[in-house]
Structure 1
Amino acid sequence: MSIISAEQLGHAYNDNWLFKNLTFGIQQGQRVALVGINGAGKSTLLKLLAERFKPSEGKVVKAKDIRFGYLEQDPKFDGSTTISDYVFSADNRQQQVIREYEELLEQSNPDIELINKLTEEISNLEAWEYEHQIKTILGRLGISNLEKEITTLSGGQKKRLSLAKLLIDDPEVYILDEPTNHLDIDTIEWLESFLTTGGKTILMVTHDRYFLDNICNEIIELDGGKVFSYKGKYAYYLEKKAEREAIDEATLAKNKNLLKKELEWMRRMPQARGTKSKARKDAFYDLEEKTKGISSKDSVSLDVKMSRQGNKILEIDNISKHFTDQSVINNFSYVFKKGDKIGLTGKNGTGKSTFLNIITGELNPDEGKVDKGETTVFGYYHQSGLKFDEDERVIDVVKNIAEYITLSDGSTISASQLLTLFLFPPKKQHGFVSLLSGGEKKRLHLMKVLIKNPNFLILDEPTNDLDIDTLNVLEEFLENFPGVLILVSHDRYLVDKLTDQLFIMEGNGEIKIFNGNYSSYRIEQEELKTKEKSIVKTENKPTPLPTKEKSKLSYKEKLEFDKLSADIETLEIEIKKLETALANESSDIDKINQIIEQLEENKESLEEMSFRWLELSENA
């Protein structure tokens, strides 16, 4: 039985129907990705299912007593002033007592009596694990200083705060609109693990194909106002979609041929007005209606001329940049070569945007210099997007740059023709920018960057809000792009496919150069971690007994073996007691530290005893 379903759902804006008669359901435990081109109505459909507004027709049916959580692209904060006001729900006593406890601990001279009272209440509510989970979620999403005002946060910080609130509330159904936007890759991988535990029910829109593949077990495509369901991963969806489209194209061609013949018959207007003649005319109109319902697929066409590139492209010589007491870039040098395809990665806040602004001349380094070649033409796609005049017509956005655009083969086309290639039909071209979806605005932004014929492309999070079909075309264009590319993206699929070198912002001003794509880098990092763990284990391992062949333990070793078994059991009991004492103690900081120290000593002893016991057991 579905816990959320759409029944004959339809919605229109200004008499323009996005979709009609949608009927589908989502069952408990399903993890579904909603895909479709920009402007198809994906975000609108999510808002309808989250009951943010009413549909033009049809209805949304939800199971009783099921909690729903909705992450929207541009979150609203319902009048909350601070991060703490928003994160901790007023009607959730567990959250409120944790909030009071955390705020009290941040004071320089906290009230010990009140701490004891709150500690007791947290224990009674069995909320210690919940408190740890809240801290983990906030920490992973880079949220600190709970008293900070929400109005001071950037767009990315607001999106992460909204996501944190949703994960803390842990609803039974997650409705997520582009959850990976504004997250770094490490956080995305943690989020994947979080969402795939506990049998969660998920419906999400995402452009991140690795994220989609790692989480979802079903894909629903919104195409031409209809829904098509595919029970499988992304590769299975692509295969079955191609089959469906091939059938549609064949049906369309067949219908067109038949329509042509029938149209000739209709034009002759036979004199006979019998039943057979009327039936044939009815069949013609029926076929015409069906043929309208099947349209040939259009795709974005990225084709522009690249400016000539000289031998000298861009040289970075020992640049450094500091803000107050923080070093963002420290003595970094690099000489760009023709055909460089570089991925710029690093956690949020490590200085990726600063680095890009320095090499494009928007920001000066404190030390060192950036020397740009005379023929180098930058094309910089900013993460924040362009500031469009919402009352400007779409076609004027392009005409303000050029009336005619030169393509790679030397031919020229008009601004209107170029917009059509970018899937802006005449009706949208003469409409206002304010009527475009978020993804369509991003596509228009990308187009503005490309028509300046750059030979050094910088793409800062280009995948945000773009549909997967457009991304596939963008990938193909960039694979064949002969100029230099710097790509900043949390989309691991895109970074893997398009880059063969990484600049890794490690923090504290350090930039590491890695030859290879992101997956190669992660494999190397995992191997290093495994090696480090192995070294630590070897260092902590007690010196083994001199090896000699023997079939049984000596009398002394047997006594040691028996004693170890008893000691290990006693130590395990002692560790459990200490863990219980730690959970129940919160007011006396000195005592807490004492318990932690004793706990660590006991765990070390237990590990040593266990190693020795294993050695003796092998000989026994």
Structure 2
Amino acid sequence: MSTLIAAEGLGHAYHDEWLFKNLTLGINAGQRVALVGVNGAGKSTLMKLLAERFAPLEGKIVKNKSTKIGFLDQEPSFPDNSTISDFIFSTENKQQQLIKEYEELIEEEHPDEKKLNRLYEELSEHNAWEYEHQIKTILSRMGINQLQQKIDTLSGGQRKRLALAKLLIEDPEIYVLDEPTNHLDIDTIEWLEKILTTGAKTLLLVTHDRYFLDNVCNTIVELERGKTYAYNGNYVYFLEKKAEREAQDDATFQKNKNLLKKELEWMRRMPQARGTKSVARQNAFYELEEKTKQRSENQKVTLNVKMARQGGKILELEHIKQSFNGNKIIGDFSYVFKKGDRIGLAGKNGTGKSTLLNIITGNLNPDHGKVDIGETTQYGYYKQGGLSFDEKERVIDIVKADAEYIKMADGQTISASALLTLFLFPPKKQHGLVEKLSGGEKKRLHLMKVLMQNPNFLILDEPTNDLDIDTLNVLEEFLENFPGILILVSHDRYLLDKMSDQLFIMEGNGNVKIFNGNYSEHRNSLEQEKEAAAKKQKSDEQKTNASSSSNKLSFKEQQEFKKLEEDLAENENKIKSLTQELNNTDPSNYIKIQELSETIEKINLTIETDMERWMELSEK
């Protein structure tokens, strides 16, 4: 298996701190690699280096110059004042430019026929019709329809989907994807899984979505403390092997600590100048000391903040209705929340999930209906957009703005600094500026601020975006033990399965369906309904055929049967004649070709209909 791209002796620093040094990594053709590691480990930086977005401070990236890399950034950038069409269709790709010209021309009220004829011929010559269909399918799946729309009018989620669409259209030799499932609904994620696993695509991606990771990737590379560890297998295999490695590391760490203690005693006993025979031992001591410093105890985020008391009445929604610009978002929805409710909010993008959450939390008054909130209900709302932090503010000051001291679940009161430490923000980061945090660390800080409010009604809108898998595991552990109400909006199917036992499904056109069960159970239910419908249709057809075969043709049916045979023969002759005329038509005569093609298509449809009826009568 050939290596398409490799990092040799790679080293890079961020804000004067080395993320990694002397790092080596190779990616082979057809390998689908997931890069995992805690927030701030340097995953996004490593991906940008491999995608040649900037040069490393040390080492080099080795690849064939002709190898094309497609990179999806967490927050993609676009040319100023450009349209979707300008961005999607590459000027270097002849087929794409022809398709762009054709799409723009047919959108005109009175298209130039000469230009249409020329484009029709060129598109046929370059075999671009199938490619055009493929491009339209990808754009449609990503919810991109207005090709002349300016990119600067798009939301952050729309921009991410646009960048992903362009990448799928270009189909590079190497895909480098930073959180590709962010801002995608579950149906689109499942479609993307099929696209990425079709053919021998080569991938390097960062994702928090464990189902996506397992379904797409065949190799996992962990980036930890500046080193990489590769595992050929799925996520469960990775966890097993990582646990074995950490157990071995712990044993080595304890051994080093004991040895360091002995060597430290030796160093203290001999403060005078030492002879040359002791120099090697001194150097070994300093090396061992450095290794022991680097190997910190395994830290984990600890989420155990106090929850506010919850009364009998929590929240009641009575006949809620909401529309925007004449579009029905919520038709007529009622629900009484009960203690222990764990609800997953599902639906395609734009079906009204955020609208329902804003009504629940009182941020939006519905057009019709009543929202009755219990006196003791305390919301904690983690919004998808995150918080707007002052990049020049210190991390600890952001937390202290809410409270100097925080009460934990066990009744203990701790300082803001101690709580930050529990959330894996060491003193150095606490007193550093927000701008030095990674995207995932900012999300973790946002989550911490939400939980500091001691909520008993927790709403998490896409909490998994940009969080590392270790933090997600701890978040799951916290949510499993959270005694309050939980509403979870997530495209992470694993999280929905684990955390919810009921779904509110936004079906569109104002319909909100309540399903008792988690996401996988809902999908299984849909599949069973499809299978049952298919079986019923087949059974009905068999009954109809059996009933038909038991009857003889009536006189009227005999006349119809005879007429069908005549019509079929006549129409087949027409097809032959029109096909010959089409073949002899001047290729530049686009209008004539179009007319003949449409006539042939209509006659073919008539033949198909007549043939079905002829076969039905012949069986009698």
Aligned to 2:7: 6
Determine the C-alpha separation between the residues in 2 that align with 1:294 and 1:193.
Answer: 40
- In 2, Cα distance between equivalents of 1:604 and 1:97: 37
C-alpha contact (below 8 Å) 1:345/1:489 kept by paired residues: yes
The residue aligned with 2:133 is: 132
Describe the shift of the 1:604–1:185 C-alpha distance in structure 2 as closer, same or farther (beyond 3 A).
farther
Q: How does 1:85-164 map to 2 (within 5 A)?
A: 85-164=86-165
Q: 1:389 to 1:278 in 2, by over 3 A?
A: closer
Deviation at 1:261, TM superposition (A): 1.4
Q: Which residue of 2 aligns with 1:298?
A: 299
**1:465-476 superposed matches below 5 A:** 465-476=466-477
Say whether residues 1:369 and 2:374 are aligned partners.
no
1:181 — aligned with what?
A: 182
SS of 1:380's partner is strand
Counterpart of 2:437?
Answer: 436
**Matched residues in 2 for 1:521 and 1:491: separation?**
15
Provide the residue aligned with 2:524 in structure 1. Answer: 523
**CA displacement 1:268-323 (0-9 Å, x = unmatched):** 11879566544433332332233234332211111100000001000000000001
Report deviation, 1:111.
2.5
Q: 1:306 to 1:270 in 2, by over 3 A?
A: closer
2:188 maps to a residue whose letter is: T
SS of equivalent to 2:127: coil
What CA distance in whole angstroms lies between the structure 2 residues aligned with 1:405 and 1:30? 47
Partner of residue 171, structure 2:
170
Matches within 5 A, 1:63-102: 63-79=64-80, 81-102=82-103
SS at match of 1:369: strand
In structure 1, the residue matched to 2:546 is 544
CA distance in 2, matches of 1:606, 1:36: 62
Instruction: Tell me: CA distance 1:140–1:595, structure 2 relative to 1, closer, same or farther (3 Å).
Output: farther
**In structure 2, C-alpha distance between the alignment counterparts of 1:186 and 1:202, rounded to whole Å:** 21
**Structure 1: stretches of 5+ with no match in the other structure:** 549-563
2:241 maps to 240
SS for the counterpart of 1:299 is coil
SS at match of 1:210: helix
Paired residues, number: 591
Q: Distance in 1 between matches of 2:54 and 2:366?
A: 49
Partner of 1:479: 480
Distance 1:611 1:412 in 2: 81
- Name the counterpart of 1:498: 499
- Deviation at 1:532? 2.5
Q: 1:504·1:514 contact (CA, 8 Å) conserved in 2? A: yes
Say if 2:307 and 2:409, in contact at 8 Å, map to a contact too: yes
TM-score, structure 2 normalization: 0.90
Aligned pairs for 1:204-215 within 5 A: 204-215=205-216
Once residues 524 and 287 of structure 1 are traced to their aligned partners in structure 2, the CA distance between those partners, rounded to angstroms, is 59
Residues 449-489 of structure 1: CA deviation (Å, up to 9, x unaligned): 00000000000000000000000000000010000000000
8 Å Cα contact 1:300/1:423 also seen in 2: yes
Give per-residue Cα distances to partners, 1:3-39, cap 9 Å, x unaligned: 1000000100232001111101001000000000000
CA distance in 2, matches of 1:514, 1:107: 46
Shift of 1:531: 2.5
Name the Cα RMSD after superposition.
2.8
Aligned to 2:558: none
SS in 1 for 2:198: coil
Give the percent of matched residue pairs that are identical in Structure 1 and Structure 2. 65
2:428 partner amino acid: K
Provide the C-alpha distance between the structure 2 equivalents of 1:259 and 1:603, rounded to a whole number of angstroms: 86
Q: Deviations over 1:46-92 (max 9, x none)?
A: 11111111111111111232111000011011336100000001111
In 2 relative to 1, CA 300–545 (structure 1 residues): closer, same or farther, beyond 3 Å? Answer: same
**Residue 270 to residue 188, structure 1, CA distance change in 2 (3 Å):** same
Shift of 1:258: 1.3
1:516-557 CA-partner distances (Å, limit 9, x unpaired): 000000011112222233334445566138999xxxxxxxxx
Distance 1:458 1:596, change over 3 A: farther
Measure the CA separation in 2 of the matches of 1:227 and 1:610.
66
Query: Counterpart in 1 of 2:509?
Result: 508
**Residue identity matched to 1:291:** T
Q: Provide the secondary structure at the position in 1 that maps to 2:463.
A: coil
- 8 Å CA contact 2:341, 2:485 repeated in 1: yes
Partner of 2:451: 450
Helix, strand or coil at the partner of 2:478: helix
**2:560 aligns to what?**
none
Counterparts in 2 of 1:606 and 1:529: CA distance versus 1, 3 Å: farther
* 1:46 and 2:60 aligned: no
Q: In the alignment, is the contact (CA less than 8 A) between 2:315 and 2:337 conserved in 1?
A: yes
Cα distance, 1:390 vs structure 2: 1.2
Whether the 8 Å contact between 1:304 and 1:406 is mirrored in structure 2 is: yes
**Residue type matched to 2:427 in 1?**
P
Distance 2:596 2:379 in 1: 61
Q: C-alpha distance in 2, partners of 1:12/1:122?
A: 49
1:257 equivalent to 2:258? Answer: yes
> What is the rounded CA distance, in whole Å, between the counterparts of 1:163 and 1:174 in structure 2?
10
The code of the aligned residue for 2:545 comes to T
C-alpha change, 1:607 and 1:259, in structure 2 (3 Å) is farther
The answer to whether the aligner puts 1:460 opposite 2:423 as a matched pair is no
User: Residue 544 of structure 1 aligns to a residue in which SS?
Assistant: helix
Contact kept in structure 2, 1:8 and 1:20, CA below 8 Å: yes
Residues 220 and 608 (structure 1 numbering): CA distance in 2 closer, same or farther, change over 3 Å?
A: farther
Aligned to 2:353: 352
Describe the SS at the equivalent of 1:160. helix
State the 1:172 CA deviation: 1.0
Whole-Å separation in 1 of the counterparts to 2:186 and 2:87: 26
Aligned pairs (5 A) from 1:255-334: 255-269=256-270, 273=274, 277-334=278-335
- Confirm whether residue 59 of structure 1 aligns to residue 57 of structure 2: no
Name the structure 1 match of 2:411.
410
User: Could you tell me how far apart the structure 2 residues matched to 1:166 and 1:485 are?
Assistant: 36
Task: State the alpha-carbon separation in 2 of the partners of residues 293 and 609 from structure 1.
Answer: 82
The 3-state SS of whatever aligns with 1:81 is coil
Q: Decide which moves more: 534-543 or 476-485.
A: 534-543
Which AA in structure 1 matches 2:166?
K
Partner of 2:424: 423
Residue 591 (structure 1) shift: 5.4
The answer to whether the 8 Å contact 1:321/1:366 transfers is yes
Q: Which amino acid aligns with 1:209?
A: R
Shift of 1:254: 1.2
| CA contact 1:586–1:592 (8 Å) conserved in 2 | no
Distance 1:240 1:600, change over 3 A: farther
Task: Report what 1:557 is aligned to.
Answer: none
**TM-score relative to the length of structure 1:** 0.90
Partner of 1:559: none
Q: Secondary structure at the match of 1:543?
A: helix
- Give yes or no for contact 1:219–1:232 (8 Å, CA) kept in 2: yes
| Aligned equivalents of 1:222, 1:293: Cα separation in 2 | 15
1:596 is displaced (CA, Å) by 4.6
- Higher mean alpha-carbon deviation, 84-93 vs 294-303, is at 294-303
Q: Per the alignment, do residues 85 and 272 of structure 1 end up closer, same or farther by CA in structure 2, a change over 3 Å counting?
A: closer
Q: 1:611 deviation in Å?
A: 10
- For 1:392 and 1:108, the matched residues in 2 are separated by 55
Amino acid at match of 1:321: Q
Hey, what's the Cα distance between the residues in 2 that align with 1:492 and 1:514?
Answer: 16
| Paired residue type of 1:543 | N
Name the residue aligned to 1:396. 397
Secondary structure at the aligned position of 2:545 is classed as coil
Task: Name 1:382's counterpart in structure 2.
Answer: 383
Task: Check the 8 A contact 2:347/2:353 in 1, yes or no.
Answer: yes
